[in-house]
């Protein structure tokens, strides 16, 4: 009988990690030229692509992985994260995997708390977490640590926890980049408005808070004369959001630039358009369909992307490697900060 090679076997023959073999087999992710050559030589030798070397399951155990993400719609940031997770699950031929999702309202602390409590009632071998609220996430992470359930953070790192890893942007540096871009196109003598979402139970998300700190620090160090105004919008209530934004713009007539610290920049762009407020430079995050539409029409000047699909792919891959091989990696894994304009968005 022809021997059936597992991914682990191929990795040992090539002297590389199982994750590297998986990336070569499925042609995804970055692999060094030397490692790729070694793996392809092994695959050719065992006649992998003609079927004789198809890998078997590493064991008969069925692993259960739960992903907890903010609620999302097609085409937005967290939908891309979910697609990345599902992509890795689909191509992970070396493991029998049961993948499930729970979603919470990222603008409601109590919704987050409810979903975390529900997750603790389920049986999971590993959990992927897209956190928003610090206290709730810290408590949940401590419960997972007590129960010996490994977990990976996506998008946001949480202090005083012990995850397997974190994959996401550097929030402070993204705030700095946002401020640097905005001041480069801001008209002299104009003020800046910064926006965050109105939230139930907690005023801001961890990611937005750190981004705003990076943004303000850059301004203080380089443009201390620029006046900064803080504003809120209500994601779930357009009428209330309009009232909140009117309160800011009716009282501040010198605003020439605006920064949104989450992926809802299109809401500010749409408001400005509806109120016929022109000549305000706007910078946001995320490549949702609505953000891209605003970028193309010019109501958003820059978008910063953080490769959410890759974050999801990498998070599940690390969880699988840990479950199969007890493999660990660096805890902090920062994604590139991509700056997008309307002339380049179609090629991204």
Residue range(s) defining the domain that contains residue 97: 62-167+308-334
pLDDT digits (tens, 9 = 90+) for 283-315: 999 998 999 999 999 999 999 998 999 999 999
Q: Is residue 259 part of a domain?
A: yes
Binned at pLDDT 50, 70 and 90, residue 143 comes out as very high
Give the gyration radius of the chain's Cα atoms: 23
Residue 342 has which token pair? 């309307």
DSSP 164: S
DSSP secondary structure of 106-145: TTBHHHHHHHHHHHHTS--SEEEE----HHHHHHHHHHHH
Element (H, E) at 71: none
CATH number at residue 209: 3.40.50.2300
Q: Is residue 342 part of a domain?
A: no
Are 72 and 103 a contacting pair, CB within 8 Å?
yes
pLDDT of amino acid 57: 44
Binned at pLDDT 50, 70 and 90, residue 348 comes out as confident
Integer Cα distance of 224 and 256 in angstroms: 16
Residue 268 has which token pair? 């500010």
pLDDT of amino acid 23: 79
pLDDT digits (tens, 9 = 90+) for 48-106: 655 544 444 444 568 999 999 999 888 889 999 999 999 999 887 767 899 999 999 99
pLDDT of amino acid 61: 65
- CA distances for 1 relative to 46, 184, 209, angstroms: 13, 68, 60
Are 229 and 245 a contacting pair, CB within 8 Å?
no
pLDDT of amino acid 201: 77
Q: State if pTM tops 0.85.
A: no
* Nearest Cα to Cα of residue 128 among 147, 102, 146: 102
* Nearest Cα to Cα of residue 68 among 145, 148, 153: 153
203 and 255 both lie in a single domain: yes
284 and 217 both lie in a single domain: yes
202 and 191 both lie in a single domain: yes
* Nearest Cα to Cα of residue 87 among 342, 275, 347, 317: 317
Give 100's strand partners. 66
267 and 189 both lie in a single domain: yes
290 and 211 both lie in a single domain: yes
**Is pLDDT at 269 greater than 90 in this prediction?**
yes
**Is pLDDT at 159 greater than 60 in this prediction?**
yes
pLDDT digits (tens, 9 = 90+) for 190-245: 999 999 888 887 666 788 888 999 999 999 999 999 999 999 998 889 999 999 99
Q: How many domains does the chain have?
A: 3
DSSP 334: E
pLDDT of amino acid 56: 44
176 and 295 both lie in a single domain: yes
């Amino acid at each position: 009988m022809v021997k059936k090679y597992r991914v682990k076997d191929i990795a040992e023959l090539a002297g590389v990690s199982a994750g590297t073999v998986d990336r070569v087999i499925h042609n995804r992710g970055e692999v060094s030229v030397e490692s790729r050559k070694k793996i392809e030589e092994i695959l050719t030798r065992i006649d992998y692509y003609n079927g004789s070397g198809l890998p078997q399951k590493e064991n008969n155990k069925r692993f259960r992985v739960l992903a907890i993400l903010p609620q999302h719609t097609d085409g937005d940031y967290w939908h891309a994260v979910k697609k990345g997770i599902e992509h890795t699950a689909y191509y992970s031929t070396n493991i029998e995997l049961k993948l499930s999702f729970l979603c919470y309202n990222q603008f409601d602390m109590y919704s987050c708390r409810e979903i975390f409590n529900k997750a603790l009632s389920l049986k999971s071998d590993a959990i992927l977490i897209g956190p928003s609220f610090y206290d709730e996430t810290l408590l949940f992470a401590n419960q997972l640590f007590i129960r010996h359930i490994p977990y990976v953070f996506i998008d946001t790192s949480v202090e005083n926890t012990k995850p397997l890893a974190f994959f996401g942007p550097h929030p402070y540096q993204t705030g700095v980049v946002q401020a640097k871009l905005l001041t480069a196109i801001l008209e002299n003598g104009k003020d800046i408005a910064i926006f965050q979402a109105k939230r139930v139970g907690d005023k801001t998300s961890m990611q937005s808070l750190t981004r705003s700190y990076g943004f303000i620090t850059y301004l203080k160090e380089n443009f201390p004369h620029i006046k900064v105004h803080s504003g809120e919008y209500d994601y779930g209530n357009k009428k209330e959001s309009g009232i909140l934004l009117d309160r800011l713009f009716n009282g501040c007539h010198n605003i020439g630039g605006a920064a949104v610290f989450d992926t809802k920049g299109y809401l500010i762009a749409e408001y400005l358009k509806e109120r016929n407020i022109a000549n305000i430079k706007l910078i946001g995050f995320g490549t949702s369909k609505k953000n891209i539409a605003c970028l193309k029409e010019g109501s958003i000047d820059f978008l910063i992307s953080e490769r959410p699909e890759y974050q999801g792919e990498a998070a599940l891959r690390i969880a699988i490697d840990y479950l199969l091989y007890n493999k660990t990696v660096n805890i902090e894994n920062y994604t590139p900060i991509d700056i997008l304009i309307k002339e380049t968005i179609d090629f991204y």
